[in-house]
């Protein structure tokens, strides 16, 4: 399952998201499949990130009580992401805050998604994907994972 949605108020929300991405520190101790200019901690929760998470949960009809992770990444020229999945998460997303000309696509096995400001790509956590080398500076994304919490 892969779902594409354009945020209805992306021009407003993207401005706020971009400010937070620029403000937050790079997390040096994060092990990730990304080779990027900046990667925030996997548990990054300013209010605008949480608002985006709530919107993703709403449009995907996913359990709003799920456990989640949110983070930001900035891709500059030559940055990329190795092929990977988001297991054991059951639902994941990538949201494009800034997608300047030359921004690399998000590549799945069967097709690729060309980035655009305000576009959200929602997919199963087990779906393999990668990002080829970027051909610009300033490709900014918010990404997240969801996993339903098992009852005790």
Residue 26 or 138, more confident: 138
Query: Which pLDDT does position 66 carry in this prediction?
Result: 87
Query: Which pLDDT does position 41 carry in this prediction?
Result: 85
DSSP alpha helix (H) spans, the chain: 10-23, 47-60
pTM (2 d.p.): 0.94
Residue 95 has pLDDT above 70, yes or no: yes
CB atoms within 10 A of CB 2: 14
Q: What percent of the chain has pLDDT over 90?
A: 78
Which residue has tokens 């190795």? 82
Domains of the chain with CATH codes: 2-107+121-147 (2.60.120.620)
**Local confidence band at 30 (pLDDT 50, 70, 90 cut-offs):** low
């Amino acid at each position: 399952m892969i779902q594409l949605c354009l945020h209805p108020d992306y021009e407003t929300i993207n401005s706020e998201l971009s400010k937070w991405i620029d403000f937050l520190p790079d997390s040096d101790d994060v092990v990730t499949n990304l080779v990027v200019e900046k990667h925030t901690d996997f548990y990054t929760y300013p209010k605008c990130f949480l608002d985006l998470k709530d919107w993703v949960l709403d449009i995907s009809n996913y359990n709003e009580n799920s456990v989640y992770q949110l983070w930001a990444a900035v891709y500059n020229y030559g940055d990329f992401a190795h092929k990977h999945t988001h297991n054991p998460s059951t639902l994941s997303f990538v949201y494009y805050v800034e997608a300047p000309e030359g921004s690399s696509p998000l590549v799945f096995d069967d097709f690729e998604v060309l980035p655009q400001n305000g576009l959200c790509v929602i997919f199963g956590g087990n779906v393999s994907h990668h990002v080829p080398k970027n051909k610009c500076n300033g490709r900014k994304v918010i990404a997240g994972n969801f996993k339903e919490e098992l009852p005790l």
